[in-house]
């Protein structure tokens, strides 16, 4: 290995004492490849297993915690105990290769396709649709339903524990229900769950507390709890960088094991809300300080890209598309073969890459999603 990359291979210890073998994480990515009944497929398990030998930790695609929270065709479920054997297949496939397995838990809220959920009942914080043509107007959740969804996050966590996962990542990013409650665009409530920024924080923080309570009851102290967030929204009103700093300040005091930033570009700068032109990731790191580790992500394709990102002081770097294009990314750097890292999808390599058909079709039919498709 080229000595300059050695810091990427130093072990990292989370606040709860759990250690991962290096600083590279496989990012959560929807793969559209589960069975219609919500169970995982053999192809999906092989896809994860193929990418788990090099990285220190794998975060799965999101799994829905409530039946009406299913966000995608081919998404696997965690909303009932019957799914525990299915979940266990994923956890085992990852852990057998030496990586920590983290289950990302989620509810799609107003972003779910009505055809995928019971009675087409799309719900959210308020009856405000996503911007864009043809978006359904969601039904505002009652107070009782809000409390029920919070409990569902706890129950999904319990199932993850019973399935053998090493942790969960609460999916508070990408416009889904947790973000919908925090956003002034989608949350127009005037009760305990909305209004001021403090009240819009109530739902995300309640989920964190429910997950922590579940972990304390059903797991030992080595179960990892992370939280993923998106720093800003393009809509007005919407989440600004200033709002996000309030959010992560609150989260940093919750005893989490990590915060995971959802960015397409690691080096992107704030849109609005604060007078600071530094990359968002640096501002975020400065705000949370040493209270909680941060995972950074966003279009880091080469070993030098990752090293430069790591040198900002962010302790863990997540790779998403990069791990689909080259499952051996980490091993190549470790073996001094970083020049052989593949940064384009080869249309003839689906079997070799072990990418399930639904994900493969999404990749090759979505120009611009991956840097290059040859």
Q: Which of 48, 176, 227, 258 is catalytic?
A: 176
First-to-final CA distance of the chain: 29
Contact 104, 228 (CB under 8 A): yes
Please give the backbone phi and psi of residue 19, each rounded to the nearest 5 degrees, phi first: -110, 140
Q: Could you tell me where the DSSP H helices lie in the chain?
A: 42-50, 84-95, 143-162, 177-182, 197-200, 202-218, 241-252, 280-288, 303-310, 321-325, 329-334, 350-353, 357-364
- Residue 51, CA distances (Å) to 93, 156, 168, 181, 361 in order: 10, 24, 19, 34, 19
Q: Which residue in the block uniquely carries the two structure tokens 């039946």? A: 67
- Using only C-alpha atoms, what is the Rg of the chain? 20
Contact 145, 123 (CB under 8 A): yes
Q: Which of 170, 269, 160 is nearest to 210 (CA)?
A: 170
> Distance (Å, rounded) from C-alpha 332 to C-alpha 302?
11
What contacts 35, CB < 8 A, 6 or more positions away?
Answer: 41
64 counts as catalytic: no
Contact 356, 43 (CB under 8 A): yes
**Backbone CA torsion sign across 89, 351, 105, 19:** positive
Q: Residue 168: helix, strand or coil by DSSP?
A: strand
What contacts 159, CB < 8 A, 6 or more positions away?
Answer: 78, 81, 83, 84, 87
Q: Which residues are catalytic?
A: 176
């Amino acid at each position: 290995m080229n000595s300059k990359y050695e810091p990427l291979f130093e072990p990292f210890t989370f606040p709860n004492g759990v250690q991962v073998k290096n600083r590279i994480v496989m990012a959560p990515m929807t793969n559209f490849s589960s069975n219609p009944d919500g169970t995982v497929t053999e192809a999906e398990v092989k896809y994860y297993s193929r990418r788990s030998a090099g990285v220190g930790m794998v975060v799965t695609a999101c799994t829905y915690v409530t039946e009406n929270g299913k966000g995608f065709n081919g998404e696997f479920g965690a909303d009932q105990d019957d799914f525990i054997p299915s979940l266990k297949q994923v956890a085992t496939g990852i852990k057998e290769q030496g990586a920590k397995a983290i289950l990302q838990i989620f509810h799609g809220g107003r972003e779910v396709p009505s055809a995928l959920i019971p009675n087409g009942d799309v719900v959210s914080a308020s009856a405000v649709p996503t911007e864009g043509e043809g978006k359904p107007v969601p039904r505002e959740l009652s107070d009782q339903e809000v409390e029920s969804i919070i409990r569902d996050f706890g129950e999904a966590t319990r199932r993850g524990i019973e399935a053998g996962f090493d942790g969960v990542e609460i999916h508070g990013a990408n416009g889904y229900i947790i973000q919908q409650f925090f956003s002034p665009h989608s949350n127009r409530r005037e009760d305990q769950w909305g209004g001021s920024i403090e009240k819009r924080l109530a739902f995300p923080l309640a989920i964190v507390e429910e997950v922590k309570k579940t972990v304390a009851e059903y797991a030992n102290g080595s179960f990892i709890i992370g939280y993923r967030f998106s720093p800003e929204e393009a809509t007005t009103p919407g989440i600004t960088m200033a709002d996000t700093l309030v959010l992560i300040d609150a989260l940093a005091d919750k005893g989490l094991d990590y915060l995971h930033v959802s960015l397409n570009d690691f080096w992107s700068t704030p849109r609005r809300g604060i007078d600071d032109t530094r990359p968002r990731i640096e501002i975020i790191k400065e705000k949370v300080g040493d209270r909680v580790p941060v995972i950074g992500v966003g279009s880091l394709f080469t070993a030098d890209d990752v090293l430069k990102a790591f040198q900002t002081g962010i302790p863990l770097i997540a790779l998403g598309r990069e791990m689909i294009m080259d499952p051996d990314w980490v091993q190549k750097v470790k073996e001094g073969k970083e020049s052989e890292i593949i940064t384009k999808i080869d249309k003839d390599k689906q079997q070799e890459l072990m990418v399930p058909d639904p994900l493969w079709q999404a990749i090759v039919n979505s120009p611009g999603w991956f840097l290059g498709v040859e």
